[in-house]
Chains A and B, each alone.
Chain A
Amino acid sequence: MRRAAKDRSAFSRRALLIGAGQGAVFVGIAARLYNLQITQHSKYALLAEQNSISERLVAPERGLITDRFGAILAGNQQHWRALFMQAMAPEPQTVLENFYKLVPLSDDEKARIAQDLKDRPGYIPVLLKDWLDWPDMAAIEVNTPNLPGIVVEAGSSRVYPLGPVAAHAVGYVGRPNQSEAKTDPVLALPGMRVGRTGAEDAQDSALRGTPGFVQTETNVHGEVVREVAHDNGTPGQTVTLALDAGLQQLAVQSLADNAGAVVMLDATTGEILALASTPSFDPSLFDRGVPTAVWNAWMADAKHPLQNKATSGLFAPGSTFKPTVALAAMKDGVLTADTRLTCPGFFKLGDHVFWCDNHTAHGTITVTQALTVSCDVFFYQVALMVGIDKIAAMGAKLGLGVDLGSDLPHVATGLVPTLDWARGRGIHWVQGSTVVQGIGQGYTQLTPLALATMIARIGAGAAVGPHITRRVGGVLQTGAAPGDWPALDIDDRHLAIVRQGLFDVVNNPQGTAYASRLQLPDVQMAGKTGTAQVHDNSAAEKQKNFNDMTMAWEQRPNALFVGFAPYDNPRYAIAVVIEHGNYGAQSAAPIAQAMMTYAIQNDPAGRDAPLTQPLQSPSPALPVNNT
């Protein structure tokens, strides 16, 4: 029994020792669990968060924007970018140095990256380099083991094949800002863009599409282990603009180095066939980020490249306003086709002398003749007879000083003053103010788009509204057919009288734009020149010719031309404004001539496919006179 007891106590000793060892192991396990679950909890919680099957929305491909014939004006291009997830890198600095060895970056970029890395929590990726080229990609791919945390992913960016040519019409896109992203969560998706100007803005919702989703399983290194499900969503719809890329190109070419705008409309539908504003800019820069130097240059440029002069540039219409004054007077009954007024070269109102252009005495003339030679004195008198309120009412019928209902964003309404307006602004309206109103000076301010609408309405006799969208997702939009627009609420006989005057402006050798008549058989353009003073000339200057080339550029008058063609069956309407271009006949009318010639020959209006052969070739019978 004693031996048994001894054995038993020996066993107990050993068993207890083993038990103590096992207990110690449990304590060790508990301690290790404490370390993992409590001490390192935040680290692993973060990893768990990233380590998930996530259903992530993906930005849909933005819709294309094409001209009426399908030429791409705004498209998408895939590019690759390198991102850095610093939480995934044990030694971020070393990884960055390795990366810089492979993909050299400027010191500015490096400083930007260092700042981003400092500002952002570790799990938010920082952009290292956008637009990776193939050598960059290959270098990163091969060196992946040395670059933990560096991810290469695809992004889509907006490209504009015509570049600056259609920049104002097509517009550009930008990243959604904070408040936009809040109102529409889809906009918070990386890669989403919002149209900022032009058609990109006008048709933003159609272009945007519906987001798709990707279900991915990612590992702790932020790498996608596998894609569980993929749905590309619905790409944005293709938006077909009414623009004709050929006309657009020609407009920009014709404007050359000038600051100016050209708007060409289908006079029967209001479709915008060309909408140019110069100088222009490269719209793709906004997607990639505008370099500071470029931005500063834009801001410093007196010709304001970012401003869409066609829709938001406000110009005194000058003599292009005279048809409106004439129509207002005829409607009022104070003017008829036979009314004759005398122009001695000046008009005296009280002590004030209003000069006719070049101080020319036009003699006793009718309204048609007054338009042809652009007599100011005739219209000073007509304006006084009819009064500004009736002029403004007629302007409104023609689309001047009112909302045009255009689908383009940022269209300025402009102004045709009324007495009410003057009272509201505390302006003491004097007769002299009405006098200058007769020649489109003074307070009147209009956009080239409004002027084009005005001449389209006068030409075609329909109350068309200017619009740039022809089809969305292939569906023809209302307004694309001439029947969609009501007739203009103006007496046809009055319109005929004015049209006759406008015909003579271009086709009568006495007309101010005779040099710019179309060199085509059987087709004539009608139009009106304008030369609008932008500078309050001194008395001494008034004695001289006020549009002297010796004046500083920014003091020279703006040159304008509005016109339509063909005269006998108006289909195209145009407005050209050249800032500080001196005479409208001299710089604006030739552009209209070139544009109209192209339009008549290629006849894009109403067509979805270009002509294979020009309709009209220049007539050899007519002498070419292009000066």
Chain B
Amino acid sequence: MILDDSLALRRPFRERSFGVVRKLGRVNWLFVLCVCLLAGVGYAALYSAAGGSAEPYAQSQIIRFCGMLVMMLGIAMVDIRLLAKLSWPAYGLGIALLLVVMLAGHTGLGAKRWIDLGPIEIQPSELMKLFLAMALADYFKRATPEQTGNPLYVLPMALAVLIPVGLILKEPNLGTAVITATIGATVMLGAGVRWWWFAIIVAIVAISAPVIYHHLHAYQKARIDIFLNPGADPLGAGYNIIQSKIALGSGGFFGQGYLHGTQNQLNFLPEKQTDFVFTIIAEEFGYLGSLAVLGLLFGIVALALHTALTCGHTYGRLLALGIGTNFFLYCFVNLSMVMGLIPVGGVPIPLISYGGSALTAVMLGFGVLQSIHVHRDVTFASPDDL
């Protein structure tokens, strides 16, 4: 093999070994640009949230992001086939972490979700979403249409989804549980599982919603109640929704100007640096700023989908779909929550919100996604492969 060939970017490589430089060349740099731009938006928003100061949010968040960016690119260099082999061990680790959280978790904001892991706090439910997608992708990577049409073949995976979802619900974290279930369903749908099975499940959930509601935690019920009628308790839990909508609405087309959003600067928004950080952008940069951020977010979703569509192997296709959907769901839940479209649910907007846990999970996913993208042409050594 001559050097020129080994560096050729377009050359499909099925070889087992290849250089790091060449792999870096195959990274989707447009995707990385979108990620960095969003992190920049996050820096600006957090700077504003602190009243025009890099302390205490923006500075530490951008440092954390830089670390995560390096980690992401590092993971992207790891052969996807190696990652595929780690799918189920990772799944097992995720379940174990969820159990640890249940037994000895750190209680934050009235919910046990966190594990102290030295300098970083990790939220096992965030990791679980990625690990579940990996496990499902691994399971379905050689599934035939006959198999995906067979309920007995699919049922174990339904259980593989429901176990972590149940554990996350128990934490309790309704939002992440629903997201996890949705990711599982999306990957399975991508694998070829009949869509109407999901329709039936959704119907069953809808019918049994009152029963589920009955068994929800008081604060979860309160969130739903408040969502349905935010004016009922304007000073209590509905306060966030109302304040958030005011922040968005008062932004107008051009916004109130950077560092001049009254809702933000006057501290009307609780937790504005985390879950409600989008309102800062919307208030200070107006609809124009909102659209730009929406564009970047959708850019990432679209590029993830592009990776899924251009990947040569089923594992990569399914996992890219799952990772893209995870990111999409983050955005959807957070934005809908901020706009008062769905009940409030402790879901940050990735890359922008302050906090390490969601960032870690998302960047980890992006690393895997880029590994898929870099290794889109590899073949899985197996008698049944392709």
Contact = CB atoms under 8 A, between A and B. Distances in A.
Q: Do A and B associate with each other?
A: yes
Interface of A: 1, 3-4, 7-8, 10-12, 14-16, 18-19, 22-23, 25-26, 29-30, 32-34, 36-38, 40-41, 43-45, 47-49, 51-53, 217, 219-221, 223, 225
A32 B339 contact: yes
B339 A220 contact: no
Contacts of A223: 235
Contacts of B191: 11
Contact of B339 (A8, A26, A33, A45): A33
A329 B79 CA distance: 127
B223 interface: no
Contacts of A221: 234
Interface in B282-312: 282, 286-287, 290-291, 294, 297-298, 301-302, 305, 308-309
16 contacts: A11-B192, A15-B309, A16-B309, A18-B305, A22-B305, A26-B294, A29-B336, A37-B251, A37-B252, A37-B253, A38-B253, A41-B249, A44-B246, A45-B250, A47-B250, A51-B263
Contact of A51 (B190, B243, B335): B243
Given A11-B317, A23-B298, A47-B246, 11 more contacts: A14-B190, A15-B321, A16-B305, A25-B332, A32-B341, A37-B282, A43-B249, A44-B246, A44-B250, A47-B249, A219-B235
B262 A48 contact: yes
Contacts of A36: 245, 248-249, 339
The CB with the most chain A CB atoms within 10 A, among B249, B266, B321, B332, is that of B249
Nearest to A39: B249
Interface in B228-256: 234-235, 239, 242-243, 245-253
Contacts of A217: 266, 268
B308 A44 contact: no
B209 to A, nearest CB: 21
Contacts of B357: none
B203 interface: no
Contacts, number: 139
Contacts of B321: 15, 18
A34 B314 CA distance: 39
B317 A29 contact: no
B353 interface: no
A33 B253 CA distance: 10
Interface string B70-106: 0000000000000000000000000000000000000
Contact of B189 (A3, A14, A38, A52): A14
B249 A51 contact: no
Contact of B294 (A3, A4, A8, A30): A30
B186 interface: yes
Nearest to B282: A37
A59 to B, nearest CB: 24
B73 to A, nearest CB: 25
B59 interface: no
Nearest to A44: B249
B371 interface: no
B263 A30 contact: no
Contacts of B246: 44, 47-48, 51, 220
A220 B234 contact: yes
A3 B321 CA distance: 21
B133 to A, nearest CB: 13
B328 interface: yes
A39 to B, nearest CB: 9
B287 A37 contact: yes
A47 B308 CA distance: 45
A421 B298 CA distance: 92
B248 A44 contact: yes
A47 to B, nearest CB: 5
B290 A37 contact: yes
Q: Range of interface residues on chain B? A: 35 or more
B298 to A, nearest CB: 5
Contact of A44 (B190, B245, B268, B301): B245
Contacts of B294: 26, 29-30, 33
A7 B250 contact: no
B287 A34 contact: yes
A19 B305 contact: yes
B262 A52 contact: yes
A12 B310 CA distance: 9
Interface of B: 144-145, 186, 189-192, 234-235, 239, 242-243, 245-253, 262-263, 266-268, 282, 286-287, 290-291, 294, 297-298, 301-302, 305, 308-309, 314, 317-318, 321, 324-325, 328, 331-332, 335-336, 339, 341, 386
Nearest to B386: A4
Contacts of A8: 317
Nearest to B239: A219
A146 to B, nearest CB: 14
Contact of A219 (B144, B234, B386): B234
Nearest to A53: B266
A627 B324 CA distance: 111
B36 to A, nearest CB: 20
The CB with the most chain A CB atoms within 10 A, among B246, B267, B286, B290, is that of B246
Contact of A48 (B186, B250, B309): B250
A42 to B, nearest CB: 9
Contacts of A30: 290-291, 294
B266 A52 contact: yes
The CB with the most chain B CB atoms within 10 A, among A22, A34, A40, A41, is that of A22
A37 to B, nearest CB: 4
A138 B386 CA distance: 80
A11 B190 contact: yes
A19 B306 CA distance: 9
A8 to B, nearest CB: 8
A32 B290 CA distance: 11
A376 to B, nearest CB: 80
A24 to B, nearest CB: 11
A221 B233 CA distance: 11
A41 B286 CA distance: 10
A4 B313 CA distance: 9
Given A10-B145, A14-B189, A33 B248 contact: yes
The CB with the most chain B CB atoms within 10 A, among A33, A49, A219, is that of A33
Contacts of A41: 249-253
Given A32-B339, A47-B246, A22 B301 contact: yes
Q: Which 4 pairs show the lowest CB-CB distances between chains A and B?
A: A44-B249, A48-B250, A37-B287, A19-B305
Contacts of B317: 8, 11, 15
Contacts of B250: 41, 44-45, 47-49
A18 B248 contact: no
Contacts of B144: 3, 7
Contacts of B235: 219, 223, 225
A37 B335 CA distance: 14
Contacts of B248: 33, 36-37, 44
Contacts of A14: 189-190, 192
Nearest to B253: A38
A26 to B, nearest CB: 5
A33 B251 CA distance: 10
A26 B309 contact: no
Contacts of A29: 294, 332, 335-336, 339
B239 to A, nearest CB: 7
Nearest to A25: B332
A33 B278 CA distance: 11
Given A1-B386, A29-B332, A15 B266 contact: no
Contact of B302 (A19, A37, A40, A44): A19
